[in-house]
Amino acid sequence: MSSTETDDRGLFKMMGYVMLALTVFTITCMLMARILGSQGVDPTDTVMRNALIERIAPVGKIRTAAMVEASGGAAAEPVVVADLSGEELYNGGCAACHAAGVANAPKLGDTEAWASRNELGLEALVASVVNGKGSMPPRGGSTYSDEEIERAVKHLTGL
């Protein structure tokens, strides 16, 4: 047996190990993806559903003259995204601080902490959130509209 033949055998062996390692790695990834994947996501959860609708929404749409004619010239139908409730908005954008009182944020359900603040009135509180106050960034760091902020404030303050 020549020495090059032994080298080749070593090379094939090594490649075999690499292939085996890659196969094991691939299968592990597939299993992990399956385990970590869609499980635990409640399909009736409005927040998750809206996030999904947004993720898979088409980037653009084509509307041909034939389609306009077929619809009787009516305006394109907007994608309907369900409105989030105050509680859902609060959970999504405000609970991070207001559940545990991070940075002295007044907590949800702490009637004492809210009593004096609520005296400012709903409008002033909404303005505080929209503009930011103390350690709270503008809109609480969220992308909520003024109307959504108001809904979240109502849930948080009980006003």
Residues at the site binding ligand HEC, with contacts judged by CB under 6 A:
93-94, 96-98, 102-106, 117, 120, 125, 128-129, 133-137, 139-142, 144, 149, 152-153, 156-157
At its nearest, how many Å lie between ligand HEC and the CB of residue 88? 11
**Exposed e or buried b for every residue in 7-18, given b needs 16+ CB within 10 A?**
eeeeeeeeeeee
At its nearest, how many Å lie between ligand HEC and the CB of residue 104? 5
CA-based Rg of the chain, rounded to a whole angstrom? 28
Q: Which residues are CB-contacts of 132 (< 8 A; sequence separation ≥ 6)?
A: 138, 139
User: Which lies closer to ligand HEC via its Cβ, residue 84 or residue 128?
Assistant: 128
Neighbours of 30 (CB within 10 A): 10
User: Which lies closer to ligand HEC via its Cβ, residue 84 or residue 152?
Assistant: 152
At its nearest, how many Å lie between ligand HEC and the CB of residue 45? 19
Q: Which residues are CB-contacts of 157 (< 8 A; sequence separation ≥ 6)?
A: 114, 117, 118, 122, 125
At its nearest, how many Å lie between ligand HEC and the CB of residue 103? 4
Q: In the structure encoding, which two tokens stand for residue 8, read together? A: 């080749």
Q: Are 49 and 82 in contact (CB under 8 A)?
A: yes
Q: In the structure encoding, which two tokens stand for residue 82, read together? A: 């369900």
User: Which lies closer to ligand HEC via its Cβ, residue 77 or residue 127?
Assistant: 127
Q: Are 140 and 97 in contact (CB under 8 A)?
A: yes
User: Which lies closer to ligand HEC via its Cβ, residue 10 or residue 109?
Assistant: 109
At its nearest, how many Å lie between ligand HEC and the CB of residue 87? 11
User: Which lies closer to ligand HEC via its Cβ, residue 84 or residue 97?
Assistant: 97
What residue number has its CB nearest to ligand HEC? Answer: 134
